Amino acid sequence: MSSEQQPAIELRAVTKKFATPGGAIYTALADLNLTVAPGQFCAIVGPTGCGKSTTLTLISGLERPSAGAALVAGRAVNGITPGVGFMFQNDAVFPWKSVLDNVAAGPRFRGRSKAAANEAARDWLRRVGLTGFEDRYPHQLSGGMRKRVALAQSLINEPEVLLMDEPFSALDVQTRSIMSDELLGLWELTRPAVMFVTHDLEEAIALADKVVVLTAGPGRVKATFDVDLPRPRRVQEIRFTDEFVRLYSEIWEALRAEVETAYARTTSKAAS
């Protein structure tokens, strides 16, 4: 297989087990198969606890599969993987660094001179609309602005793979929709393969080329749906199109049964 045809991300028959505090073994993922092509935007949806975040930790190298393999650009993940960027629900910005220093941190870490790193950081701050805020500290910014810093901080490293775990879920609805549009605009600039975990099916369809539905734990792929909505997209507008509504009801049909299974488990545990 040539490197062009190689998936950017591949999970091959991945099983992940955890030891619980009581000494039992819990299977979080079972025989999970999944690929994301270079430049593809893949959203992962599934009920709470089905293993979405665990999937990202295996690709990032923070955890290892108990069986099967996680590969990035055809290479088995073995520790923290170069070329992989992250963005999580909680901002990973350094609170003690200015906005400029936060964004310049990646290039500095990779050995670029302070002047070159700052120039690249100013460029990315312009792209995310934060010119003029270089000297602020994260606590002096709004939640949406902090997300923009985090986006610039990830994208400045031009990752081939960007892992996003509910990055906008702490934002209000309006800011969230603005950030989704901004993410799509920025993604177009460098086109990393994205794996985006969300609880929100509307957000998944609006952003992605492909939506993967996981089963209630242990997580397996239940179904995969291609999203052929035209790009560039504006998330607020696209959700009213007939194709969006059709896709939503089709994917929700697959997701609903899993959400109900997961819910029934939590309520039966609560009752026992």
Which of 50/103 has CB closer to ligand ATP?
50
List beta partners, residue 195.
Answer: 42, 163
Contacts with ligand ATP, residue ranges (CB under 6 A): 18, 20, 26, 28, 46, 48-54, 217
Shortest Å, Cβ 54 to ligand ATP: 3
Considering beta carbons, is residue 99 or 214 the nearer one to ligand ATP? Answer: 214
Q: Confirm if 144 and 64 have CB atoms less than 8 A apart.
A: no
Q: How far is the CB of 6 from ligand ATP (least distance, A)?
A: 26
Q: Which helix (H) or strand (E) covers residue 218, if one does? A: none
Q: Phi and psi dihedrals of 133, rounded to 5?
A: -110, 15
Q: Output 130 or 216, the one with its CB closest to ligand ATP.
A: 216
Minimum CB–partner distance for residue 204 and ligand ATP (Å):
13
Q: Note whether 178 and 144 are within 8 A (CB).
A: yes
Alpha-carbon Rg for the chain, nearest whole angstrom, is 19
Q: Among residues 47 and 138, whose Cβ is nearest to ligand ATP?
A: 47
**What minimum distance in Å lies between the beta carbon of 224 and ligand ATP?**
17
CB neighbour class for 232 (10 Å; exposed up to 12, middle 13-18, buried from 19): exposed
